[in-house]
Structure 1
Amino acid sequence: MNDRAIAQNVSELVLGTYALPYKKLAKHLTDKQIKQLINARPNNDEFSVLSGIVYWHGEELSSMKLACLTTGVKCVPDIKLQNSCGKLVHDLHAEVLSIRSFSWYIMEEIEKLENQEASDLVEFDNLGKYRLKSDIRIALYISEVPCGDCSLEELSQLDPVPWKEGPESSNALRGRSSYTQVGKVRTKPGRMDSPISLSKSCGDKLTTVSMKGLLKGIVADLINNSHVLLDYIILPAEKAQKNSASLERCFNERIDFTAVEFYHRFKILNCSDDIVAKYNKLLEANKSGTLGIDREKKKRACDLSLVCIPESKVIEVINDGVKNGNSIKTVLKNGRGYSILCRYSMFQKRIQLDKSCNTYKSYLDWKKRASNAEYTEKVLRAKKSLGTWGDSTFDDFTLGV
């Protein structure tokens, strides 16, 4: 298969949809929803990161579909997660939101089968359960090199003074501390003076995908394929080339393979800088901000995160972990205004497909069930292979409440 053609087609689909939503999304979304998407794009004095997951069948690049499109560069501090009862989205970085959106989309496609409708992505297996169609290929487009170990050398060149080490409850390194310690697990950066997040970097999370599969735990055991594989990560050529050594180290060289049971090496492909420039010019004409981290700190990070799942007719704008226009306090008090991608909402979706989930008292009880042991082991092996992962606050909640 022609890697250049894959990179070009995926990039055109993601960037074209984001820059020209009226042209690309009119058959899926209402005029009001498209305006929401446009209004969620960063202003010309802001920056954000764009990501999207695309899939297709075998060699048929003409069959490409956009599963989801997301933006975001924020992360909710750990202290806010401690009493969220599953109703906050913790990690709002674009590529992480894409992975969560894809898991939501898988559940939507399973619902189609249950309603005797055709799905382009999943099918019944021989046991009456579900599997990904065997010829599916999956690519993740990201407009910026993922945070963490992937971008360490570039950061050290632009800002040679790393953060000072500080006390924290996670054993993972924080953000931009200790540039010289490459190949290490890191938490989301934020500002040096910002409240601590224990959410691991996008580079770390994507590396675990090569060992445990792409799907989130809420969805993974619904699909009987041993893994749902990510085949490609596509990055703008200039950024991929500048960070080529870091990308290779982060995704492949630092893994302790003695701790790994399974490993699927995804390819890093380069998106033509001409394609990126073409759509950036369109966005600039519409007074939209930069797609990528502003390393020179001339622009501020956009507060908003966008979630678009076209086939499911979903547009959602998230701010501080909840739907834009709501506050964390009111969401937790009234139980309304949470994102479809929060753990609570995704689990309610899971319950619709599997009523046996209702027999458990809490989300944690459900995760500890015997039938989930295989997936839990995959996750633990993946984390162990990267060294000191460190704990995060567990976001538990009572089921059905």
Structure 2
Amino acid sequence: MLVMNANDIAELVYKEYAKSFKPICKPVVKSNGIKEWTVLAAVVGYDTVAKAFQVVSMATGVKVTPDTHLSRSMGKILHDCHAEILAIRGFNAVLHDQLRRYNSIKDKTELYLIEKSASTNSFRVGEKWAFYLYISEIPCGDSSMNEAIESRDRGENDKQQELIFHDSDLIQYVDPKVRTVLRGRFNYSKKGFVRTKPGRADSNMSLSKSCSDKLCMKQVTSLNNAITYFLLDSPVYLSGLVIPNLNRSKMEALVKSFQRPGKLIAHPVEFLTTDLPFQDQKLQEEQTPSSMSGILLFLQKNKTPKQEAILNGIKNGYFVKGNKPLRKNCESLLSRYHQWSIFEQSNYFHSYLSFKKSLHKRNDLVRKLRDQLSSEGWIHTCSDDCHAQKV
């Protein structure tokens, strides 16, 4: 496996964050003088021929949409706005955009990731690329349980999460019938379990799985979402994960958590750490997380990235409270609705969910992995199909 200098990756990510993100996508100083914090993530490609890095996508965010808010979504609301998940969604959005425009653009080098095979007429990501995921914090869920223990020892943990749990205490489970899926950071002494977001005990319920669980899945199913998995000749896997200031305990927890898929792992991940801190990380317990998320999509080489601010899972400024219908054009570039509306123009499936069901090989991997991660069953998020209009 290619060994990279984690500091080089971190420096590039921080440079782009400072240069390209507008202030609205960054934490602000509140009226009480305390600064908000956020998590930063980026998918960075390494060109093994040119020996050069390229940021593909970047995101900030720490929020997740409660399940009760998804009944009106129809694919328009982003369920999970944690930075690393948004960055991976952004990576797929860049791939999808380059695939869509490949035949219509003259200078193919601008579409830096995609190649077309002359013999098969199919598309693939260039073999020269290796991809790394930078995250400013250790992924939530199983990987971060040692960090939760260290926080407890420093007296920083949520009192509700410090409770002493027994297996019979049902509050720790999302569903008492499925005791291999735990809610948030409840009973953080238990390792090797699937956990849901958010981590805080006083947050509204979500069935979105932790970033640790989702990144484990990427080792098996690839970085690709359903659409780019279908469109590309072969899937793309993550080569490495870069996280600042991983001590021995955190590194051990991270490695062990990522070993949970066992023999199903198609492409193991290399774990790298950097001593370069992120400027907007959480430094004091009094700090509150930023409600805003932001994305940068580097759609073409040497071009200004496309940017978007996201609040409550949709574009900033478009949120409507309660159960009222969502406003027109509220959906993010990363939303299922937007990506599906592009895909369905040249492909013929009844709906997004029916399309996903047709990916039998990928679905078989997902089923096997879910059985491996949670032996007592899987708790699904609510069905969120989309019947997008043509764009």
Q: Is 2:21 aligned against 1:42?
A: no
Select the structure that is richer in helix.
1
User: 2:149 touches 2:189 (CA, 8 Å); kept in 1?
Assistant: no
1:91-140 Cα shifts (integer Å, max 9, x gaps): 00000000000000001111332214412211112321211111211011
CA contact 2:320–2:327 (8 Å) conserved in 1: no
Q: Which of 120, 124, 128 lines up with 1:127 in the alignment?
A: 120
Aligned 8 A contact 2:24 2:309 in 1: no
Q: Secondary structure at the match of 2:120?
A: coil
Residue identity opposite 1:10 in structure 2: I
C-alpha distance in structure 1 between counterparts of 2:55 and 2:295, whole Å: 12
Q: Partners in 2 of 1:267 and 1:59 — Cα distance?
A: 20
Task: Choose the corresponding residue for 2:365, options 378, 396, 400.
Answer: 378
Corresponding residue for 1:248?
A: 255
Q: Is the 8 A contact 1:148 1:175 kept in 2?
A: yes
Displacement of 1:218: 2.4
Q: Are 1:239 and 2:246 an aligned pair? A: yes
Deviation at 1:153, TM superposition (A): 1.3
1:91-170 aligned at under 5 Å gives the runs: 91-117=80-106, 118=108, 119-125=111-117, 126-159=119-152, 161-162=161-162, 165-166=170-171, 168-169=174-175
Looking at structure 1, the residues matched to 261 and 75 of structure 2 have their Cα atoms a distance apart, in angstroms, of 31
CA deviations 1:363-390 (Å, max 9, x no partner) are 2222223xx1112112222222212442
Residue type at the aligned position of 2:297: I
Aligned residue identity for 2:42:
G
Aligned to 1:89: 78
Within-5 A mapping of 1:213-232 = 213-225=222-234, 227-232=235-240
Tell me the residue number matched to 1:287: none
The reply on whether 1:395 has 2:380 as its aligned counterpart is no
Counterparts of 1:108 and 1:392, CA distance in 2: 27
Separation in 1, partners of 2:315, 2:208: 20
Structure 1, unaligned stretches of length 5 or more? 26-33, 281-289
Matched residue, 1:317: 309
- TM-score normalised by length of structure 1: 0.83
Q: State how far apart, in whole Å, the 2-side matches of 1:375 and 1:240 are.
A: 35
Contact residue 140 and residue 234 of structure 1 kept, 8 A: yes
Aligned residue-pair number: 358
- 155-164 vs 95-104, which moves further: 155-164
* Counterpart-to-counterpart distance in 2, 1:343 and 1:192: 29
Cα distance in structure 2, aligned partners of 1:4 and 1:105: 23
Distance 1:4-1:367 versus aligned 2 partners, 3 A rule: closer
**Distance in 2 of aligned mates of 1:346 and 1:157:** 40
Shift of 1:193: 1.9
Structure 1 residue 203: deviation in Å? Answer: 0.7
State yes or no: 1:181 paired with 2:190. Answer: yes
Q: Deviations along 1:303-348, whole A, 9 cap, x unmatched?
A: 0001011335311000011111111459834332211111111111
Equivalent position to 1:54, from 44, 49, 69: 44
CA 1:129–1:338 in structure 2 vs 1: closer, same or farther (change >3 Å)? same
Which position in structure 2 is the counterpart of 1:15? 14
Give the aligned residue type for 1:314: K
**Post-superposition shift, 1:169?**
4.4
Q: What is the alpha-carbon distance in structure 1 between the residues aligned to residue 8 and residue 248 of structure 2?
A: 20
CA distance in 2, matches of 1:391, 1:202: 16
Q: What is the distance in 1 between the residues matched to 2:188 and 2:175? A: 20
Structure 1 pair 179–335 and aligned structure 2 pair: CA distance change class (3 A): same
Q: Establish whether residue 267 from structure 1 lines up as the match of residue 274 from structure 2.
A: no
CA deviations over 1:184-213 (Å, ceiling 9, x no partner): 000013421221010000011001111110
Q: Deviations over 1:210-239 (max 9, x none)?
A: 1110011122111111x2010010011x23
Q: Distance in 2 between matches of 1:93 and 1:52?
A: 12
**% identity of equivalent residues:** 29
Contact 2:319–2:327 (8 Å) recurs in 1: no
Report the counterpart of residue 217 of structure 2 in structure 1.
208
Deviation at 1:399, TM superposition (A): 4.2
CA distance in 1, matches of 2:39, 2:247: 15
Q: Give the Cα separation in 2 of the matches to 1:221 and 1:324.
A: 31
Contact 1:70–1:98 under 8 Å retained in 2: yes
Name the amino acid aligned to 1:335. Answer: K
